[in-house]
Amino acid sequence: MKSNLIQHLFTTRKLSKQDIENLFDLAKKIENNPKDYSEVCKGRILGNLFFEPSTRTRLSFESAMLRLGGKILGFTSSRDSSATKGESIADTIRMVNHYADIAVVRHYMEGVGEIAKQVSTIPIISGGTGTQEHPTQALLDLYTLKKEFDNIDDLNIGFLGDLKYGRTIPSLLYSLIKYDNIKINLISPKTLRIRGNVENRLNNAKSDYLVTENLHEVLETLDALYVTRIQKERFLDPIDYERLKNSYKITPETLQDVKDHFIILHPLPRVDEIHYDVDKLKYSRYFEQAKNGVWIRMALILKLLGVE
Ligand code: NCD
């Protein structure tokens, strides 16, 4: 990716299918032979700037850098940083430029990418910013699909849950539409429908997509269902969350008539939208998906640092 002059990663929109496939090739090489990569980042430091809570993204970035032989530093909430004293994100990024060689930022604000572009001379990766993008999650989601089906082209994929506030969804849609003959099914309550700006991009790309509230209208046709939690922390009115939180729940019964090769993905954390009994069915891939995050993030660190 370095070769394409992508210094930071805040959106999947600017990645080409070739960029994505190159990243997957490297992730696969790392996954097959992790020992070959265990010292390639010796002497390098990854900074984790997490202004919002995280389990998988932060820990898998840490694991990725440690498995590459590098070191890590950072903070895990805005409370632990000078943001509480009023420091701007721009100043925090400027400082970390002196302390790390590459950094990950998770933030509630949109627009951190623009700030990074202006002030950072080290690569900055979004670990989820605002409600609009979570590019590394999308890449690991896509990598999981690739491993499962070999070819991403021609897949029929459902997106279920909070399509309005779930930031992994736009990033995944923007990368999926680079592939051929993808069918997209957007399943959500009316009030949590995909945003207009995301739908415009689907239209501009002439994507084949359907919007519905009814999971059973499409479930039997799907190769994969991407389930998301209702994003409680984004609701202005808690009553709205209470009304919508149980909109969908996947149980073994829900899945009686799915295709044999069907799989369920979820960026996690799960709340109530997938019953624990589904975990042991042959369809669940969400824990494997989280594991794939380490390979993808290792590959991404190498690409952005220009180490190969
Ligand atoms: C996601 C996020 O932070 O947007 N979490 C993650 O990184 N896997 C999804 C979520 O919080 O629902």
**Do both 145 and 273 map to the same domain?**
yes
Q: Tell which wins on pLDDT, 4 or 69.
A: 69
What separation in Å is there between the alpha carbon of 168 and the centre of ligand 1?
7
Answer yes or no: are the C-beta atoms of 78 and 121 closer than 8 Å.
no
For a mutational test of ligand 1's pocket, the pick from 12, 50, 57, 286, i.e. the residue with the most ligand atoms closer than 8 A to its C-beta, is: 57
**Do both 75 and 157 map to the same domain?**
no
Domains of the chain: total:
2
Q: What's the chain's average pLDDT?
A: 95
What separation in Å is there between the alpha carbon of 268 and the centre of ligand 1?
6
The pLDDT tens digits for 178-218 are 999 999 999 999 999 999 999 999 999 999 999 999 999 99
What separation in Å is there between the alpha carbon of 212 and the centre of ligand 1?
23
Answer yes or no: are the C-beta atoms of 303 and 26 closer than 8 Å.
yes
**Do both 108 and 151 map to the same domain?**
no
The catalytic residue among 58, 134, 178, 229 is 134
Ligand 1 nearest atom to the CA of residue 267, by list position: 8
Q: Tell which wins on pLDDT, 1 or 155.
A: 155
Residue with tokens 């980042």: 41
Task: Confirm or reject: Cβ of 130 under 6 Å from ligand 1.
Answer: no
d(CA 72, CA 47) in angstroms, rounded, equals: 6
Task: Confirm or reject: Cβ of 134 under 6 Å from ligand 1.
Answer: yes
Residue with tokens 């794939």: 292
Please give the pLDDT value at position 3: 43
**Active site annotation includes 106:** yes
Ligand 1 nearest atom to the CA of residue 52, by list position: 3
**Do both 117 and 148 map to the same domain?**
no
**Do both 110 and 57 map to the same domain?**
yes
Ligand 1 nearest atom to the CA of residue 268, by list position: 8
CATH of the domain at 167: 3.40.50.1370
**Do both 26 and 90 map to the same domain?**
yes
pLDDT band at 7 (very low <50, low <70, confident <90, very high): confident
pLDDT band at 10 (very low <50, low <70, confident <90, very high): very high
Does residue 79 register a pLDDT over 90? Answer: no
**Active site annotation includes 57:** yes
What separation in Å is there between the alpha carbon of 71 and the centre of ligand 1?
24
**Do both 141 and 286 map to the same domain?**
yes
Does residue 73 register a pLDDT over 80? Answer: yes
**Do both 110 and 141 map to the same domain?**
no
d(CA 204, CA 260) in angstroms, rounded, equals: 33
**Do both 141 and 281 map to the same domain?**
yes
Q: What percent of the chain has pLDDT over 70?
A: 98
Neighbours of 2 (CB within 10 A): 14
Kind and range of the H or E element at 183? strand 183-187
Regarding pTM above 0.85, the answer is yes
Mean pLDDT across the stretch 59-74?
98
* Residue 270 Cα to chain centre, angstroms: 14
What separation in Å is there between the alpha carbon of 69 and the centre of ligand 1?
27
**Active site annotation includes 178:** no
The catalytic residue among 11, 57, 131, 168 is 57
d(CA 109, CA 39) in angstroms, rounded, equals: 35
**Active site annotation includes 76:** no
The pLDDT tens digits for 95-129 are 999 999 999 999 999 999 999 999 999 999 999 99
The pLDDT tens digits for 140-160 are 999 999 999 999 999 999 999
**Do both 275 and 297 map to the same domain?**
no
**Do both 103 and 82 map to the same domain?**
yes
**Do both 107 and 247 map to the same domain?**
no
Domain with 147, as residue range(s), is: 135-290
Task: Confirm or reject: Cβ of 268 under 6 Å from ligand 1.
Answer: yes
Task: Confirm or reject: Cβ of 135 under 6 Å from ligand 1.
Answer: no
